[in-house]
């Protein structure tokens, strides 16, 4: 796999949100406005980049048995740094992202990439992987937020859209609309990619961290090796 392919896979083929279905909580909660979505995407990308590079650099130092707690500490450290920076420079965004900024710690995209990719690959490759995944995450959030904000509130990035404001569908900005738009987007991606319905891809079982986070859904743990 060349570096370019490695970068692009996170954006399209293995898009963390729409194909791997990871990090659903912030995806549903934050996408009520485009600016929030972009802020969240950038914050998560920075954390992912730092944590992937750190995990990769330390992959021969961290003992195998305690690797998950080590990753969590590393990730939590970077999340705290990002939180403090955002609190200082973009206080409005910090307020509107609220608790979901701290919850980047338990976002399975980040822990999943650390476990599945960074712990086995060189620093540069891990950084490229993180950038691709981060941009894929941001793009998916951006698309979903654009739909929800434009049709739900009649604005885009806070700017009024002519006509749309008169026919806004309020429910799209509320909780049920989040589930609905997300479901439709995944269906659209399924339709375009022609991907056959894969049972193992729903929810926890599709999460790469399911493998180490629980023995529960033993029936269908997806291995990256199997997909290749």
Partner 1 sequence: MEFFKSLLMILLTSVLVNNYVLSRFLGICPFLGVSKKLNQAVGMGAAVIFVMCLATAATWPIQYFLLDKFELGYMRTIVFILVIAALVQLVEIILKRYFPALHASLGIYLPLITTNCAVLGVAINNINDGYNFVESMVNSLGVGLGFLLAMVLFAGVRSRLETARPPKAFEGLPITLISASIVALSFLGFAGIVDGIFG
Q: Which residues bind partner 1 (CB under 8 A)?
A: 21, 24-26, 28-29, 69, 72-73, 76-77, 79-80, 83-84, 99, 102-103, 105-108, 111, 171, 174-180, 182-184, 186-188, 190-191, 197-199, 201-205, 207, 209-210, 213-217
Complex with partner 1: residue 89 or 163, whichever CB lies closer = 89
CA 185 from chain centre, in angstroms, equals 15
The token duo for 143 is 């698309």
Which is nearer to partner 1, 4 or 216 (by Cβ)?
Answer: 216
- Shortest distance in whole angstroms from residue 122 CB to partner 1: 26
User: Which of residues 219 and 226 has its CB atom nearest to partner 1 in the complex?
Assistant: 219
CB of 124 to partner 1, least distance (A): 27
Nearer to partner 1, 58 or 161 (CB): 58
Q: Pick the closer one to partner 1 by CB: 154 or 177.
A: 177
CB of 42 to partner 1, least distance (A): 18
Least Cβ distance, residue 204 to partner 1 (angstroms): 3
């Amino acid at each position: 796999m060349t570096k370019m392919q490695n970068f692009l896979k996170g954006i399209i083929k293995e898009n963390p949100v729409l194909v791997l279905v990871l990090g659903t909580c912030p995806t549903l909660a934050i996408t009520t406005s485009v600016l929030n979505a972009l802020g969240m995407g950038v914050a998560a990308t920075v954390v992912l980049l730092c944590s992937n590079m750190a995990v990769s650099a330390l992959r021969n130092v961290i003992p195998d048995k305690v690797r998950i707690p080590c990753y969590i500490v590393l990730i939590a450290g970077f999340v705290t740094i990002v939180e403090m920076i955002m609190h200082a420079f973009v206080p409005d965004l910090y307020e509107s992202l609220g608790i979901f900024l701290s919850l980047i710690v338990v976002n399975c995209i980040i822990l999943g990439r650390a476990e599945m990719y960074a712990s086995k690959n060189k620093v540069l490759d891990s950084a490229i992987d993180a950038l691709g995944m981060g941009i894929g995450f941001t793009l998916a959030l951006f698309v979903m937020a654009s739909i929800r904000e434009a049709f739900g509130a009649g604005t885009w990035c806070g700017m009024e859209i002519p006509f749309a404001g008169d026919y806004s569908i309020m429910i799209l900005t509320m909780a049920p609309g989040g589930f609905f738009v997300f479901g439709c987007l995944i269906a659209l991606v399924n339709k375009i990619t022609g991907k056959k319905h894969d049972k193992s891809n729903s929810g926890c079982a599709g999460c790469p961290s399911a493998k180490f986070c629980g023995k529960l859904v033993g029936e269908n743990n997806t291995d990256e090796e199997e997909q290749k």
